[in-house]
Amino acid sequence: MYSIVHLDIPPLSAVAGSVRLPGSKSISNRVLLLAGLAAGETAVHGLLDSDDTAVMLEALRALGCSVVRGDDGLTRVRGLGGRLAVHEARLFLGNAGTAMRPLTAALAVLAATQGGRFELDGVARMHERPIGDLVDALRPLGCTVDELGSPGYPPLAVRGVAGGRLATGTPIGVRGDVSSQFLSALLLALPLAAGHGEIVVEVAGELISRPYVEITLALLARFGIAVRRQGWQRFVIPAGSRYASPGTVAVEGDASSASYFVAAGAIAATQAPVVVEGVGADSIQGDLRFVDAARAMGAEVALEPQRIVVRRGAWPLRAITLDCNAIPDAAMTLAVMALYADGTSTLSGIASWRVKETDRIAAMAAELTRLGATVEAGDDHLRITPPRAWRAAAIRTYDDHRLAMCLSLAAFNPAAGAAPPVPVRILDPRCVGKTYPDYFETLFALARTPAERIPVITVDGPTASGKGTLAAAVARALGYHTLDSGALYRALALAALRAGVATDDGDALAALARRIDLRQDGERLWIDGVELGAELRREDVGLAASRIAALPAVRHALHALQLAARRLPGLVADGRDMGSVVFPDARLKVFLTASAAQRAERRHKQLISKGISSNIAALRAALEARDAQDTSRSVAPLVPAADAQALDNSALSVDQSVAQVLAWWAQRNPYD
């Protein structure tokens, strides 16, 4: 996951390959709650690992459930069997509506009948997400619910005295036109009170997001609760209902998350398909109906058991007018697909967007406009006309995971003929951790784009100038890959010493470089699948690396490996001739000019800190000699590229040097 300030996505041209989805958030948190309420142990396969499930798991632990996450991919939950193990707890539930609403209902019922007090709170945005309709349904039952902040919103406290009885003899009313989670919360919780008779829940008004209620009913059935549904207005929980663990439950891949890759395929899968694994024709998730909308826009989609196969069909995509009531989360992806359509698209039935992680109607309208689209926003609709001219935009994500993920698809703008193609900046990319922590890594693994579109920063300078440290720090700040060219030469030198290859035989060394599997990922290196460690820093390896680096045949042999390091979303390359030979088109080339005196002082402090005796004068003399040698080399001499930016870091800390490089980078990459 990219835990950085912003993530820049270069213009993307194509997409192909397979992706295995993380588990469904809607299924995961429902299953966890049901497992926590049931007796015995439930083994959950494929549980989503995200912020929202993390707060639910922590809540279950706080309530006395045993939760064990094993190395075998199973999460084992030993439930309460409908009986409270603790009678007081404070639960922090982040921004997880799928935890806040059902836990409020379940704990309100348990506290009212078994006694106790439980506080439920979350992040600031949770204090703006309505829960009043659920509170209004619980209070007539006999549940005591205290609103600790603004009326109708979290935080809440539910409390009661042991021995209480709930008024379940008459139908329990709940509104269905704001969020279906209120109805789902009641259906998940009320079997706790069905020991003396059936319980009827009646929905006032039109029930929105019905497919999510279908998920609730299907999972209740898995745990032994056969709710009878009479249309979408009346639900009957049978008398004597008890949660019964099914033993094992498999969580499907998340259908809402599938929509991003289906959309990517519809836009850019021109040579090979995108295969989405983990959800398919047998899914219980309503958001799978997104596939019908994608087909209506022109995508070629095949639904198979447990997978979806998608290719680009009609192009440009066909504009669409659609009531999205049944697919509220996946409909956000349609809004971005509309950027690639042949006219104006209208998405209606999305009033529930306004009470999600953010006001999604307002947010989507603002960000699509930032990209260049013309957008009309209403109380329950968006009307979207594609951009005439695409703009490089810094996308505000509003701490909303789905906004970040679906708007990343704007990076495929070359497919829409954007001239010039533009990058997309995602602010606060970490917000995807709510449901899909590895989303961007997965997208980059599938996406294709010409190498020249992938940004590169090069860092060079004399020995001990801190170029490796600076390059690694800049790469971390931007979420880019790193290439330490010096480490590649050391790895090849080590391989030569092991194989008995002479370090002055260029042809033999080049053949060795082509024969071994030499791989670098950040600061880690592997030879033939075995990771290298401290041996790379051996003195004999360093001396050998210095010799072989001067051989043209070796530099040529490693050139292709260095070029291959240019991968999405970008690269920071450290080393000699990175900016002049390997990546001459790098947008920013930094050349460090720290003085030999300053470098000697730094090296002296490093050695002393490790308990190694050192002499500053000797260190300085050695560095000056090395500088003279490096600048006079016939192959890859130490000289700055003609367009390099000089950085005298003699008196700068690493953080100050990084700040300067990032400032230069920002000047070269303006965003709206």
Q: Check pLDDT > 90 for residue 523.
A: no
Stretch (H or E) spanning 207: none
Q: Check pLDDT > 90 for residue 71.
A: no
**From start to end of 192-238, where are the E strands?**
199-204, 228-230, 234-237
Residue range 488-504: average pLDDT? Answer: 93
Residue 131, pLDDT score? 97
Establish whether 133 is a catalytic residue.
Answer: no
Exposure of 406 in the CB half-sphere (CA atoms within 13 A): 25
Contacts of 288 (CB under 8 A, 6+ apart): 255, 258, 279, 303
For the ranges 26-35, 95-104, 531-540, 548-557, which has the lowest average pLDDT?
531-540
Residue 438, pLDDT score? 97
For every residue of 501-521, which 3-state class applies, written as one string? Answer: CCCCCHHHHHHHHHHCCEEEE
- Burial of residue 125 (CB within 10 Å: 0-12, 13-18, 19+) is middle
> What's phi and psi for 291, nearest 5 deg?
-60, -40
Residue range 396-405: average pLDDT? Answer: 96
pTM confidence score: 0.90
Confidence of residue 150 (pLDDT cuts 50, 70, 90): very high
Residue 580, pLDDT score? 87
Confidence of residue 411 (pLDDT cuts 50, 70, 90): very high
Query: Could you give the CA distance from residue 235 to residue 199 in angstroms, rounded to a whole number?
Result: 8
State both tokens at 109. Answer: 């019922």
pLDDT in tens, 442-454: 999 999 999 999 9
pLDDT in tens, 567-579: 999 999 998 889 9
According to DSSP, the residues that pair with 367 across neighbouring strands are none
> What's phi and psi for 44, nearest 5 deg?
-105, 120
The sign of the CA dihedral 168, 171, 175, 176 is positive
pLDDT in tens, 151-207: 999 999 999 999 999 999 999 999 999 899 999 999 999 999 999 899 999 999 999
What does each C-alpha distance from 454 to 8, 18, 304, 411 come to in angstroms?
10, 22, 35, 12
pLDDT in tens, 302-333: 999 999 999 999 999 999 999 999 999 999 99
pLDDT in tens, 596-651: 888 888 888 877 887 878 788 888 888 888 778 778 877 778 889 899 999 999 88
For the ranges 126-135, 260-269, 549-558, which has the lowest average pLDDT?
549-558
Residue 594, pLDDT score? 86
Question: How many degrees, rounded to 5, is the angle at CA 388 between CA 385 and CA 390?
Answer: 100
What is the C-alpha R_g of the chain? 30
> What's phi and psi for 64, nearest 5 deg?
105, 5
Stretch (H or E) spanning 25: helix 25-37
Active-site option among 254, 329, 400, 484? 329
Q: Could you tell me if 172 and 182 are in contact, meaning their C-beta atoms sit under 8 angstroms apart?
A: no
Comparing 153 with 550, the larger pLDDT belongs to: 153
Q: Check pLDDT > 80 for residue 83.
A: yes
State both tokens at 28. Answer: 């995961």
Q: Could you tell me if 44 and 116 are in contact, meaning their C-beta atoms sit under 8 angstroms apart?
A: no
Residue range 514-526: average pLDDT? Answer: 86
Q: Could you tell me if 32 and 53 are in contact, meaning their C-beta atoms sit under 8 angstroms apart?
A: yes
Q: Check pLDDT > 90 for residue 534.
A: no
Q: Provide the residue count of the chain.
A: 672
Residue 559, pLDDT score? 92
pLDDT in tens, 172-185: 999 999 899 999 99
Confidence of residue 436 (pLDDT cuts 50, 70, 90): very high
Indicate the pairing of strand 588-592 with strand 645-647. parallel
State both tokens at 535. Answer: 């041996």
- Greatest Cα-to-Cα distance within the chain, rounded to the nearest angstrom: 94
State both tokens at 58. Answer: 């922590």
In one-letter notation, the amino acid at residue 378 is G
State both tokens at 475. Answer: 């790469």
Residue 602, pLDDT score? 80
Write down all domains in the chain, each with its CATH number in brackets. 6-22+252-448 (3.65.10.10), 25-250 (3.65.10.10), 454-480+569-672 (3.40.50.300), 485-548 (no CATH)
* Alpha helices by DSSP H, 225-330: 255-268, 290-296
Query: Could you give the CA distance from residue 62 to residue 65 in angstroms, rounded to a whole number?
Result: 7
